[in-house]
Amino acid sequence: MSEKKLWGGRFKESTDKLVEQFTESVSYDKRLALVDIAGSIAHAEMLRKQGILTEEEAEKIINGLKEIQKEIEEGKFDWKVEYEDVHMNIEKRLTEKIGPVGGKLHTARSRNDQVATDVRLYVRNEVKEILNLLKELRKAFVEQAEKHLDVVMPGYTHLQIAQPVLYSHHMLAYYQMFKRDAERFEDSLKRINVSPLGSAALAGTSFPLDREYTARLLGFEDVTKNSLDAVSDRDFVAETIFNCAMVMMHLSRLSEELILWSTDEFNFIELPDAYCTGSSIMPQKKNPDVSELTRGKTGRVYGDLIAILTILKGLPLAYNRDMQEDKEPLFDAIDTVKLALKVNIGVVRNMKPKAERMREQARRGFSLATDVADYLAKKGIPFREAHRIVGELVAYCLENKKGLEDLSLDEFKKFSDAFEEDVLSLMSVEGSINSRNVTGGTAKQQVEKELQQIKEEEGFE
């Protein structure tokens, strides 16, 4: 049996060691230590302002907390499982250092509003880091687009060659994905950055607190409006994990393409050696392990999302111990997405497209068929009829082992009198690409316009 807990006055027996092992969270929530101390210092400052603590008491508590912070930062703090969590470890150490006055820190506060505050502070900090990484990744795609502005490649639907596009246009598609991810995280900050401190266990407190003052000290933009909701709300945790899952999904889509593109069958891209690995038995292999692991770790973050939603789905108001389980999926999702972003920034920055191979493939698969159909539509033929005519042209080409670009004007005219000499000038991938000169299209002029807008908005040089 272990020693009595700080909350053990009502209990006649000490907690069983196995129960301690089952219920402890300090092994992972100790990463909240610095935000826990920040919250405690702000709480002590407010208690002093309101006359709930004397000047001397507040000074002792704040100085003691700062000394504990230094111990933690220097790796000298002795974390103990028997004290359950990060909060009780710090509070116990505080009373060891400054005596019984340390127990006054918990006046008008519960671990329920304390942990809710800690997690919000932690998530706020991590979201800002993720936003910086997302910006770096977006910049890497912009660099790729600028460096290889004129490279042509096949665009796909159903993983079948569809129409030629610019490689730069393809890179900026990923820019847009990760821009949306950043917007989701930015928007989530207004729900994260709200202070629950002062809600106490569930009903508020009879002490005359100034919650708005504490919120200002901690950089929160507002305070929660309902104490029951404040201590039991983990929507912001679920939202953060969801946002991480979306980032991983986009990284996984990128990874899938890079894996395909680096095969001999596609041979579109050279991945940097520093981000690939070899085989233990086949000396010729260069494996895209970063991309494969990114794809695999995406499922892990999806698991974190399902975990938090399942933890929360049946909980009555207000706080329940189940909510202790919110931290491991949260920490795992954040750690995974940050590392995945860092390593994929390096991949994107250093990969090299194989321009000749891409251009060669862009001409295959009758990728200019839509251009021919559009040509007929511009001559006044209803598009559905034009679609049928070009379908017959493709069938003719397949039978005669030709491409559309190999056909003579006489062969075109066998299928429609609307074809004239100018149809032959359509038969180039560059012509096809630059004909799509609409906002958001793949024409070089549009890609240059998009790049300019991005650089102005983002401040990229």
pLDDT exceeds cutoff 60 at 106: yes
Average pLDDT over residues 426-430: 87
Q: Which of 385, 369, 379, 429 is nearest to 153 (CA)?
A: 429
Strand ranges (E), 171-241: 194-195, 222-223
Q: Which of 135, 131, 128, 85 is nearest to 110 (CA)?
A: 85
- Chain-centroid distance of CA 156 in Å reads 26
Average pLDDT over residues 310-331: 97
Q: Which residues are catalytic?
A: 158, 279
Residue type, 312: L
Tens digit of each residue's pLDDT (9 = 90 or more) over 153-196: 999 999 999 999 999 999 999 999 999 999 999 999 999 999 99
CA torsion angle 383 387 390 395 (round to 10):
-170
Q: Are strands 160-166 and 152-157 parallel, antiparallel or unpaired?
A: antiparallel
Q: How far apart are CA 200 and CA 224, in angstroms?
A: 12
Q: Where residue 1 falls among pLDDT bands split at 50, 70, 90?
A: very low
Q: How far apart are CA 256 and CA 241, in angstroms?
A: 22
How many CB atoms neighbour CB 396 within 10 A?
15
pTM for the complete prediction? 0.93
Report the half-sphere exposure of 94 (CA within 13 A, side-chain side): 30
Q: Are strands 222-223 and 352-353 parallel, antiparallel or unpaired?
A: unpaired
Q: Which of 58-67, 259-268, 362-371, 451-460 has the lowest mean pLDDT?
A: 362-371
Q: Are 267 and 238 spatial neighbours (Cβ–Cβ below 8 Å)?
A: no
> Residues of the chain with pLDDT > 70: what percent?
97
Looking at per-residue pLDDT, the higher value among 270 and 428 belongs to 270
Q: Are 220 and 117 spatial neighbours (Cβ–Cβ below 8 Å)?
A: no
Query: Which residues make beta-bridge pairs with 152?
Result: 166
Q: Are strands 269-270 and 222-223 parallel, antiparallel or unpaired?
A: unpaired
Q: Which of 81, 79, 68 is nearest to 3 (CA)?
A: 81
Average pLDDT over residues 120-141: 98
Q: What domains appear along the chain, each with residue ranges and CATH number?
A: 8-107 (1.10.275.10), 113-198+224-360 (1.20.200.10), 364-458 (1.10.40.30)
| Summary mean pLDDT of the chain | 95
Average pLDDT over residues 382-407: 94
